[in-house]
Structure 1
Amino acid sequence: MPSITLSRLAASTPDGRALFSDIDLSFDGGRTGLVGRNGVGKTTLLRIVAGTQAPQSGTVSVQGTLGVLRQAVQVSPGDTLADLMGVAAALALLRRADEGQATAEELPSADWTLGARIEAALSRVDLHATPATPLSTLSGGQRTRAALAGLVLAQPDFILLDEPTNNLDRAGRAAVIDLLAGWRSGAIVVSHDRELLETMDAIVELTPLGATRYGGNWSHYRARKALDLAAAQHDLADAEKRMGEVERTTQANAERKARKDGAGHRKRAKGEMPRILAGARESRAESTSGDQMRLAERRRTQAVEDAAAARRRIEILQPLSVALPSSGLPQGRTVLRVEAVSAGYEAGRAIIDGLTFGMTGPERVALTGPNGSGKTTLLSLIAGKLAPRSGEVRTTRAFALLDQQVSLLDPGLSIRDNFLKLDPGADENACRAALARFMFRADAALQAVGTLSGGQMLRAGLACVLGGSQPPELLILDEPTNHLDIDAIEAVEAGLRAYDGALLVVSHDETFLSAIGITRRIDLTGKD
């Protein structure tokens, strides 16, 4: 039976930072989602399983065949879809056989069902193309789907997928989700796409504490994590209670000893107790007191260690909750008006043509449509980075755009300095309090923005924009969940739920859109 077994696996980054150690996992024919914070080693673990990277220590045993889908599909000049799917040679043989040019030795290996199977594989991932289609004519999302079709065609015992829905539009995401929902062989999927993770049979979470398997899909995993958090909070409360009891008992014993010592001194002073007897009693009292102090210290040390362990677990399990100042946006104020706007980058070709819509009050609007329909172009028009060919765009002056690069922030400055640059009226205490609400406490607030991960950078952008004394009336976000881990996404969601201004979002992540309370959608389908 096909299986993958990892034994005492360990790996480090090239600069020597430990990622994980003593990982023992096994995978059978089910679908497993591999989750964890960015930088914890998910992609490294997948590479080790695929055999493209050696572990620092430990072993990998694979029974069966593997198919791998990587985050980026590399394209060489002249490559066709047949090259990507690994069938170019087999199709060339079929052409030679049709033309009567195949040799007698080649003919037995000709696969006459290949054409039909390729067509079925492309249909399964909803890709309208042929084996001769040049890869240079396909978008990144279409190449991902073509690579998935290649896996469908090969029918390996296990498929390894690394963020398969990144950069895909809604149709592409749906194709991947449907594919995995119906996949009957083994699959290990690194993903932050919660809709995709709902199709899994099990979730494996990598954390600094190790790897933990949870049976069931994403919803079952979250329910179990909620129980784990409640247990950790109970353990912390119990440890803190024991610490308090030890302190009170120690204090009571010290006071009792002081009273006894005082009484003994008074009796000796009056001559009521022989000196030998008084000395023996004092020696016994000191011995008992020492035993009690050592026992109390052991109990206190154990309680402190238990409390620290519980806090570490809570830090990993605790979802972020954010409280923000009000934007002060009233219900009736118009924050955005797009009137009969047309725009594009090439003469004679309009990406957006005659678009009209508006936003009033704290609406939460999603811009939807397939890749290439003009969503990012529209955001550039609204932000003033692109001038319309015709029509007019009017927006409130109090708006902020967080693009995928969070270019609002200066990468050469610290998070703290960026905050003070954007909100020069804030004092140090207000700055530090605002950043702490987004989990940038103490020295974490002094990190240079250019050194942050994608998730940290977006969280820093939200902290600097929304955490100030006067958040903007309109916040615009372009694909905010791309390349973020789930903890980072949920931190962003928490910040946006606390924001009371208007929100305009481009995202293909339906779970994210639902979580932030989208109230209206503007579909740009057909605007290209």
Structure 2
Amino acid sequence: MAQPTTSLLCTDLSFDWPDGRPVLDGFHLAVGPGRTGLIGLNGAGKSTLLRLLAGELTPTSGTVKVAGELGYLPQGLTLDTGLRVDEALGVRAAREALHAVEGGSTDQRHFDAIGDDWDVEERARALLDRLGLRRLGLDRTTGELSGGEAVLLRLAALLLRRPDVLLLDEPTNNLDRAARERLYETVAGWGGVMVIVSHDRELLQHVDQIAELRDGQVTWYGGNFADYERTVAAQQETAERLLRHAEADVQRQKRDLVDARTRLERSASYGKKRSVTRNDPHIVAGKLKRQGQETAGRLQGMHTERLEEARRKLTAAEEAVRDDAEIRIDLPRTAVPAGRTVLTLERVRLPHGITAELDLRGPERIALVGRNGSGKTTLLRTIAGELAPLSGIITAPVSLRHLPQRLDLLDDKLTVAGNVKLFAPNAGDNAIRARLARFLFRGGRADQPAGTLSGGERFRATLAALLLADPPPQLLLLDEPTNNLDLASVRQLTQALAAYQGALIVASHDLPFLRGLGITRWLELDGELRTVDPM
């Protein structure tokens, strides 16, 4: 039975995709009041679980129970560009009824539409103001909104409903710095039940507890993400120490078993020679032989049991150590000599009055920041040659590659190895597989079709295709690369970029990620491109 404080309850929950791939099996979850950060590796089932809780997916078996009204903010949110803002907020009917009553109407339908929500218009405007959307009039359409503003507008619609339970799936994706700060404030001030799937470390600092979904089960950690990291680090230190002890014990038991066998063989040989020397009768010799064999069997069985027990402990110790594998690669062909011109922008003019001047030399690492809708994606696509500037000159005398937000560079019908082959047609199959192994695509994983990859796997495969391309890129353009990546994948991306020796331009709102890249110059795009102080 659910306790009175349980707001979300999953009982013996199982879910399989239509192609038969299992996601959850016999899963149990109970969530009470407070803010819960749900984390886990890409492909662990976090977003699927939220969709099950929200009723967007039907479980294969088991039950989901929600106490009270539920609000759900999904990933990849899109709004109909023809919608009015008050429609997107779900308050248009109540507003129209309110205006009709204020104009003198006594129609009962208008009173029914308003209900008890007589201050709906004031609440809507105040909420838009709090989320930084003051410029949006309730009568305007949503066609002018950036992706980040669309997320905030959808969040405002949920908050206006005053739900008892709120589910947020990667809510900071595509939000600029100011919008993230407003979201953090909203989360920090939330008094109900909230479950947040996120890789955003700063957002996860505002939760009351961490729930880690791993191998189909949830492990709970009290406190925010920093508390979680400290707890896991201590656990892993203990687990690694126990693993070393278990490995040493297995080796010791192996040596003891070999020594015991050697001693028994010597004893048996000595006993046989002694029996022959004494000319023992066959019946006596046979009895002595059987006794020796029984003793040998007992001793060998004892040492074998000890060895098996040591191996069981080793297996348990190995399972306790996290296998969040690390990318370790060497990319010397991407190196750019200091002082070499990599990119120049001369009097470049883009749509919406954006201008840009830039001189990039050597292996510089540039962070490109700016509010939503400032033109960062447009600038990167223009540098990559995907869009033409309105005027000006762009010169890139080195090979460059562009990693877009959409991750649509891979052919879903080809394998991971096949996709890399497209970018490096002259590389042999063995060379491609050896390189992919460094990106954690080992053995049969290199033969997995790209269309079946999880979000994190797809990102790794795309990154591998770009970095292993022929010719190797000496200028890499990344557009919001940490969107939808789990924390382990963000760490793997940082590791891969640490091995990259070329020039780098990264557009991102993820400040902890940017700070970990060794950024040499911070550029802000706000009508024009200008240098700003490190953030």
Q: TM-score surpassing 0.5?
A: yes
Q: Write the deviation string for residues 36-71 of structure 1: whole angstroms up to 9, x where unpaired.
A: 223322122223323343333333343333222223
Q: Which amino acid aligns with 2:240?
A: Q
Structure 1 equivalent of residue 453 of structure 2:
452
User: What is the 5 A alignment of 1:174-253?
Assistant: 174-253=181-260
| Pairwise CA distance, 1:440 | 1.0
Contact 1:121 1:149 in 2 (8 A): yes
User: What is the 5 A alignment of 1:115-130?
Assistant: 115-128=121-134, 129-130=136-137
SS of equivalent to 1:385: coil
Contact 1:396 1:474 in 2 (8 A): no
User: What is the 5 A alignment of 1:105-144?
Assistant: 107=111, 109=115, 111-128=117-134, 129-144=136-151
- Match of residue 303, structure 2, among 288, 292, 296: 296
SS of equivalent to 1:122: helix
Structure 1 equivalent of residue 500 of structure 2:
499
Counterpart Cα distance in 1 of 2:256 and 2:319:
27
Compared with structure 1, are the counterparts of its residues 526 and 232 closer, same or farther at alpha carbon in structure 2 (3 Å cutoff)?
same
Which is worse superposed, 277-286 or 191-200? Answer: 277-286
Q: Given the alignment of the two structures, is residue 41 of structure 1 paired with residue 42 of structure 2, yes or no? A: no
Contact 2:335 2:363 in 1 (8 A): no
SS of equivalent to 1:513: helix
Contact 1:402 1:478 in 2 (8 A): yes
Q: Given the alignment of the two structures, is residue 265 of structure 1 paired with residue 272 of structure 2, yes or no? A: yes
Counterpart Cα distance in 1 of 2:177 and 2:454:
25
Q: CA RMSD in A?
A: 2.8
Unaligned runs of 5+ in 1: none
Structure 2 equivalent of residue 51 of structure 1:
55
Structure 2 equivalent of residue 366 of structure 1:
367
Structure 1 equivalent of residue 168 of structure 2:
161
SS of equivalent to 2:190: coil
Counterpart Cα distance in 1 of 2:466 and 2:51:
38
SS of equivalent to 2:18: coil
Structure 2 equivalent of residue 386 of structure 1:
387
Q: Given the alignment of the two structures, is residue 19 of structure 1 paired with residue 23 of structure 2, yes or no? A: yes
Structure 1 equivalent of residue 417 of structure 2:
416
Counterpart Cα distance in 2 of 1:320 and 1:468:
21
Q: Write the deviation string for residues 202-247 of structure 1: whole angstroms up to 9, x where unpaired.
A: 1111111511111111122222222333333233323322321221
- Match of residue 334, structure 1, among 322, 327, 341: 341
The alignment's TM-score, normalised by the length of structure 2, stands at: 0.88
Which is worse superposed, 254-263 or 421-430? Answer: 421-430
Compared with structure 1, are the counterparts of its residues 107 and 209 closer, same or farther at alpha carbon in structure 2 (3 Å cutoff)?
closer
| Pairwise CA distance, 1:359 | 1.6
Q: Write the deviation string for residues 71-103 of structure 1: whole angstroms up to 9, x where unpaired.
A: 354545753222222222222221121111133
Structure 2 equivalent of residue 401 of structure 1:
402
Counterpart Cα distance in 1 of 2:390 and 2:110:
60
Counterpart Cα distance in 1 of 2:266 and 2:116:
100
SS of equivalent to 2:321: helix
Q: Which amino acid aligns with 1:39?
A: G
Runs of 4 or more, structure 1, over 6 Å off, are none
Q: Which amino acid aligns with 2:463?
A: L
Counterpart Cα distance in 2 of 1:299 and 1:379:
62
Q: Which amino acid aligns with 1:521?
A: W
Q: Which amino acid aligns with 1:126?
A: G
SS of equivalent to 1:434: helix
| Pairwise CA distance, 1:406 | 4.6
Contact 1:125 1:148 in 2 (8 A): no
Q: Which amino acid aligns with 1:356?
A: E
The alignment's TM-score, normalised by the length of structure 1, stands at: 0.90
Q: Write the deviation string for residues 148-176 of structure 1: whole angstroms up to 9, x where unpaired.
A: 11232222222111222223333333322
SS of equivalent to 1:184: coil
Unaligned runs of 5+ in 2: 530-535
Counterpart Cα distance in 1 of 2:419 and 2:82:
46
Structure 1 equivalent of residue 533 of structure 2:
none
Q: Given the alignment of the two structures, is residue 526 of structure 1 paired with residue 533 of structure 2, yes or no? A: no
Compared with structure 1, are the counterparts of its residues 79 and 234 closer, same or farther at alpha carbon in structure 2 (3 Å cutoff)?
same
| Pairwise CA distance, 1:436 | 1.5
